[in-house]
Amino acid sequence: MTKILTIHRQSELENSLNELLRAYEARQVFVLCDDNSKTHCLPLIAGFSCLKEAQHLSIPAGDEHKNLATLATVWSVLSAKGGTRQSLLINLGGGMPSDLGGFAAACFKRGIDFINIPTTLLACVDAALGGKTGINFEGLKNEIGAFYPAKAVLIYPGFFNSLDRANLYSGYAEMLKHGLLSSYAHWKQVLSFDPSTASSQTSAELIMDSMSVKEKIVKEDPTEKGLRKALNLGHTIGHAFESLSHIQHKPLLHGHAVALGLVCELYLSHKLAGFPEPELNACVKRVKQAYSAYPLQRSDYPELIELMQHDKKNSDQHIRFCLLEDIGKILLDATASREQIEESLDYYRDNSSKH
């Protein structure tokens, strides 16, 4: 079971790490950063007594580097620096180091322990939790990976001070998703949340509530045989948007793509499952306020749908969605026709242009 700790002071972060690292030899602790977390976050913890002898690994920042070549580099460094089955990998960074570092740990020496210290709001409410690890492969998001949970996740909101608006709102999209999966009370709180306050103690409770939505679902279904598929709300179309954006060299951050996917999939929920129109409109309004429109053309639809067909949730020729009948009322493994999916993309285009 993953231990989750929320920490508000630097001294508490050091004490928590001291406690967690007692079981490991000092030179067998490795800290993985990307270029961003190495610059903005590593200096805050590098001087901790428990990390004085820790060995450091650095990888390039950006989802385009969440690939086999970067993964192989991590394994090579772990091996060259004497990593053993008793090693511990600390992933310090956003979603990309969390995903790739977790997968590196899952495979190295057939599995070593790892701890996630998420430094972005997105990683905090999404990638750092739940045991999904992996890399992108041949243009497809998270195509290769493993279920392998972290020993612990340490949440220190002070790291969020280094984030720009785009990255704060990337995490906010996953909070919107968790609100939709939870309750009307939680949904209304998330709708009015200002991500720029994410580093404050007053925001910590709502962020923890968001994390607990995912944690509860994962506990019930750790390997995505049933209920955990609900966490894919917004992601079938969102991941396709994200992949297309990289193909077209107009890259979207993960959460921005998910926000656009939520608009489309809530529209499908409304049309196919009776999701309430007022809540669809509320989500569309918030997404328009928070995210820039992606310049989607009708000529992009075939490629987008082709990308959706590669989604791991599909067990046959049908594209599978998590849809909602209402806030918190989940419909798993729903299907939609090509025409209905195109209609949802039309709906997105019609509503994204009215900022």
pLDDT (0 to 100) of residue 202:
84
> In which region does residue 302 sit, left (phi positive, over 0), alpha (psi from -120 to 50) or beta (all else)?
alpha
> In which region does residue 132 sit, left (phi positive, over 0), alpha (psi from -120 to 50) or beta (all else)?
beta
Amino acid at 254: H
State how far the Cα of 263 lies from the Cα of 126, in Å rounded to an integer. 19
- 3-class secondary-structure state, position 182: coil
For 178-234, write each residue's pLDDT tens digit: 999 999 999 999 999 999 999 988 898 899 999 999 999 999 999 999 999 999 999
Amino acid at 18: N
Alpha-carbon dihedral sign for residues 43, 152, 108, 104: negative
CA distances from 296 to 40, 62, 226, 233, 271 (A): 34, 23, 32, 21, 22
SS3 content of the chain, % helix, strand, coil (to 5): 55, 15, 25
pTM of the model: 0.91
Q: Which residues contact 144 (CB under 8 A, 6 or more apart)?
A: 68, 103, 134, 135, 137
State how far the Cα of 36 lies from the Cα of 163, in Å rounded to an integer. 10
Say if residues 92 and 42 touch (Cβ distance below 8 Å). Answer: yes
DSSP label at 138?
Answer: T
Taking each helix axis from N to C end, the angle separating 184-191 and 165-181, rounded to the nearest 10 degrees, works out to: 160
Within the chain, residue ranges assigned H as helices are 10-21, 35-40, 42-45, 68-80, 95-107, 121-122, 165-181, 184-191, 201-220, 235-247, 254-273, 277-290, 301-309, 338-352
Q: Which residues contact 257 (CB under 8 A, 6 or more apart)?
A: 238, 239, 241, 242, 245
Residue recorded with tokens 């050091």? 14
Backbone phi, psi, residue 128, to 5°:
-70, -20
pLDDT (0 to 100) of residue 355:
40
pLDDT (0 to 100) of residue 353:
65
pLDDT (0 to 100) of residue 212:
92
Do strands 55-59 and 29-34 pair parallel, antiparallel, or not at all (unpaired)?
Answer: parallel
Show the tokens assigned to 197: 């306050």
Domains identified in the chain and CATH numbers: 3-162 (3.40.50.1970), 169-352 (1.20.1090.10)
Do strands 320-326 and 329-335 pair parallel, antiparallel, or not at all (unpaired)?
Answer: antiparallel
For 219-261, write each residue's pLDDT tens digit: 999 999 999 999 999 999 999 999 999 999 999 999 999 999 9
Listing DSSP states for 233-255 in one string gives: TTHHHHHHHHHHHHHTT-PPPHH
Show the tokens assigned to 224: 């995505």
State how far the Cα of 151 lies from the Cα of 306, in Å rounded to an integer. 37
Which residues of the chain are modeled with pLDDT < 50? 354-355
pLDDT (0 to 100) of residue 312:
60
